[in-house]
Amino acid sequence: MPLPRGGRQRVNPHWMHPVADLMRVELGVVVGAHALGGEVRVRWFGDGPENILGSEFVFLGESRNDPSARRYGVRGGGSGRGGEIRLRLEGVDDRNAAEALRGCLVLIDAADLEPLGEDEFYWHELVGCTVETEAGERVGTVRELWNTGGHDVLVVAGQGGQVLVPTVREIMKEVDRAAGRIVIESIPGLLGEAE
């Protein structure tokens, strides 16, 4: 079950002003500068960088709830090193300015994400969902997701502690976004019980 992480229009300079929005989604992190012209290197999260590259603007901040996150118009972008892309941002015109953004999260408003197929979900849609077994036993609540390379993992916090649930079809049997509920198969060893 993939968990992906989006036309370009004219850049408007007012987009660089701080704007607070609680429905922002983390799509990547600035890992450094590229060359001398002000491009930033971004390590993207999820299945691909399409939502970043297709955005007309992005926010850069310390967290998705950062009230001082700044909005930057996207002037262009392209491929970079493995797992990275390069972005040209409005107002970031030299290497020093790009390097100053190192460590900032790359965010966009959830409403600006590309629509997904029926069996696909964005990470932010799963955080907060209740997880239960097919037998109706409550496991806990999804607190975050980890990208492990092979497949993503739900980090579920419950009374029995933290449980890591792989996001594979064989285990995740049902995802009801409207109800905030994920049903999993309780395979031996997954929930800490003896095999």
- Whether 22 and 82 share a structural domain: yes
Domain containing 162: what range? 127-184
Bridge pairing between strands 24-34 and 152-158: unpaired
Name residue 190's amino acid.
L
Same structural domain, 44 and 92: yes
* CATH number assigned to the domain comprising residue 91: 2.40.30.60
- Residue 4 placed within a domain: no
Spatial neighbors of 10 by CB under 8 A, at least 6 apart, are none
Residues 107 and 26 in one domain: yes
Q: What is the DSSP string of 45-88?
A: PTT-SHHHHT-SEEEEESSTT-TT-EEEEEEEEEE-STTEEEEE
143 and 106 co-located in one domain: no
Instruction: Tell me, yes or no, whether 93 and 154 share the same domain.
Output: no
Residue 65 and residue 151 share a domain = no
**Are residue 79 and residue 162 in the same domain, yes or no?**
no
pLDDT one digit per residue (tens) for the chain, 195 residues = 333 333 332 333 333 334 444 579 999 999 999 999 899 999 998 778 998 999 999 999 999 889 999 999 999 998 888 889 999 999 999 999 999 999 999 999 888 888 888 778 888 889 899 999 999 999 999 999 887 777 889 999 998 899 999 999 899 999 998 899 999 998 887 887 644
In the sheet that holds 138-147, the strands lie side by side as 161-166, 152-158, 138-147, 130-133, 181-184, 172-176
CATH code of the domain covering residue 162:
2.30.30.240
Q: Contact, 127 vs 142, CB < 8 A?
A: yes
Residue 169 lies in a domain: yes
- 37 and 80 share one domain: yes
Same domain, 77 and 135: no
Same-domain check for residues 102 and 154: no
Q: Residue 2 domain-assigned?
A: no
Answer whether residue 99 is part of any domain.
yes
Exposed, middle or buried, 1 (CB in 10 Å: 0-12/13-18/19+)?
middle
- What pLDDT is attached to residue 194? 45
CA neighbor of 64 nearest in space, from 22, 92, 96:
22
Same-domain pairing of 101 and 34 = yes
Domain boundary (52, 82, 112) is at 112
Are the C-beta atoms of residues 171 and 186 closer than 8 Å to each other?
no
Question: Do 84 and 172 fall within a single domain?
Answer: no
Nearest by Cα to 181 from 156, 164, 161, 160: 156
In a domain, 18, yes or no: yes
How far is C-alpha 150 from the chain's CA centre?
A: 16
Is the residue at 117 inside a domain? Answer: no
Question: Per the structure, how many domains does the chain have?
Answer: 2
pTM here? Answer: 0.68
